[in-house]
Amino acid sequence: MHSDLVISQADRRPMYLQILEQVRRRIAIGDWQPGDELPSIRGLAASVQVSVITVKRAYLELERTGIIVTRQGKGSFVADTADLRTRLQHGELDEHLSSAIEVGRQLGLGATELEGRLRKLWDRKAPDVAGKDERER
Amino acid sequence: MTERLIEVAGVEKAYRFFRLTNVSLELEAGQIMGFVGPNGAGKSTLMRILMGMARHDRGSVRVLGHPIPEQQAPAKRDIGFVSEDMRLHGNVSLAWHMKLIASIYPAWDATYADVLLDRFNLHAEQQIKALSHGERVKATLLLALARRPRLLLLDEPTTGLDPVARHEILTELMAVVQDERRAVLFSSHNTQDVEQISDQIVFIDRGRIIDASDKETFLDRWRRLHLDVPAGVELPALQDVVETRTSGQIAIVTTKAYSPGLETIYQRAGAQVRDIQRMTLEEIFVANVMSNRREQAA
């Protein structure tokens, strides 16, 4: 499998997390399909120029969360679960919403105020969809 | 079981103005170890001991299973050593050196040597004295790499190199450990290079190893906490906190053993945690050296 992951030293997130997130992203958008083989740990380490131990840690974490499976002596594969892609996309959405909540809290906003803000942005960004939504009510 | 390519235990070596004190370290096959220390910390001395070029006063050294310095000859057949004070002959070409090394070491890989010439942008026919500093370092490295030794000992291989040359060298070091039986020990005071490619990291200062661990553990444990400390609140003294800097009602705490429980401890004491920051290997290194020197002085 081709592995054009890129990690950045200027990124404040640790390197293992950058790798982990990029692998998750690849699977979420469907570039890497369930059952596909991942690059080997040493191969990926060499191609993105990070320590073997860093890639190992990212893979272990992906394994722990059921996103990939590692078969002894055979390599690592994207988990063959039907809803993996949707699960990852929902996970991503939750992460974004969580950080919005965090910023909201710092501004002293409650849940209702945040909901209002979300609704406002929704209407501005997708008026057609929002309009349809209104009509259906 | 993974094989240990380097085993150093309790090594001491005294010079008139410098001593190595109780140095122990182990390097397993398949790994890259970064050896980090300020100038004069003892990095080169230890490399020379590993090569049998200096004899330790106490302790034991085994390299590739061979006791050093007694059996250095068989060990050295499979070690590629590169250091700053290795001089190539200026009046001959790189090709001349390649031929010489090839005649000494049967494992010389001429095809790989050609690949390296290309990757390092070197011309075999060029006279050594016409090479720039960076080209000379790459030439020395090429001579070591093309022998395909199991163990590479590199003393400051990236010092004084431009970013492109450094990248080329780091790429080749990563390529070495594609083979799980091989290993690299490289010393550097460029913590960025070490942070990027090392699996294991050893910090040395004033002849003592002050800390050693795998890189992920290092980066995970060290944190800086930014605290708001209202007047009258006293911060608890904690064992793993290596430094606390206070200015007005703000304190910055550096810990070498972070866990989420630490926040609770500070909050219970009446302080508020504003931010928790990860540290770069460079910041960890400096904080480590400074706290260690304070301890030694106390």
| Digit-coded pLDDT (tens) for B88-99 | 999 999 999 999
pLDDT > 70: percent of chain A: 89
What local confidence, expressed as pLDDT, does residue A137 receive? 46
Contact A51 B219 (CB under 8 A): no
What local confidence, expressed as pLDDT, does residue B85 receive? 75
How far is it, in rounded angstroms, from Cα A57 to Cα A44?
A: 12
Nearest to B145 by CA among B118, B187, B120, B109: B109
Q: Mind telling me how many Å the CA of A54 is from chain B's nearest CA? A: 7
Inform me whether the pLDDT recorded for B136 exceeds 60: yes
Closest in A14, A46, A53 to B214, CB measured? A53
Identify the residue among B27, B174, B275, B278 best suited for mutation to test binding to A, counting A beta carbons within 10 A and taking the highest: B174
Q: Mind telling me how many Å the CA of A135 is from chain B's nearest CA? A: 46
What local confidence, expressed as pLDDT, does residue A127 receive? 62
Could you tell me the pTM of the whole model?
0.86
Q: Categorize the per-residue pLDDT at B1 as very low, low, confident or very high, splitting at 50, 70 and 90.
A: low
- What does the block give as tokens for A120? 């406002």
Average pLDDT, chain A: 85
Average pLDDT, chain B: 93
Mean pLDDT of B45-70: 95
Closest in B30, B31, B170 to A49, CB measured? B170
Residues 63-102 of A with CB under 8 A from B: none
Q: Mind telling me how many Å the CA of A107 is from chain B's nearest CA? A: 15
Q: Exposure pattern of B56-84 as b/e (b: 16+ CB <10 Å)?
A: beebebbbbebebbeebeebbbbbbbbbe
- Whether residue A9 lies within 8 A of chain B, CB to CB, comes out as yes
Inform me whether the pLDDT recorded for A82 exceeds 90: no
Closest in A43, A46, A51 to B215, CB measured? A51
- Judged by average pLDDT, the poorest of B25-39, B63-77, B210-224, B232-246 is B232-246
Q: Mind telling me how many Å the CA of A52 is from chain B's nearest CA? A: 6
Beta partners for residue B273, in sequence order: B227
Q: Categorize the per-residue pLDDT at B61 as very low, low, confident or very high, splitting at 50, 70 and 90.
A: very high
The number of angstroms, rounded, from the C-alpha of A72 to the middle of its chain's C-alpha atoms is 26
What local confidence, expressed as pLDDT, does residue A69 receive? 93
Contact A52 B171 (CB under 8 A): no
User: Looking at per-residue confidence, does A128 or A101 come out higher?
Assistant: A101
Q: Which residues of A touch B180 (CB under 8 A)?
A: 42
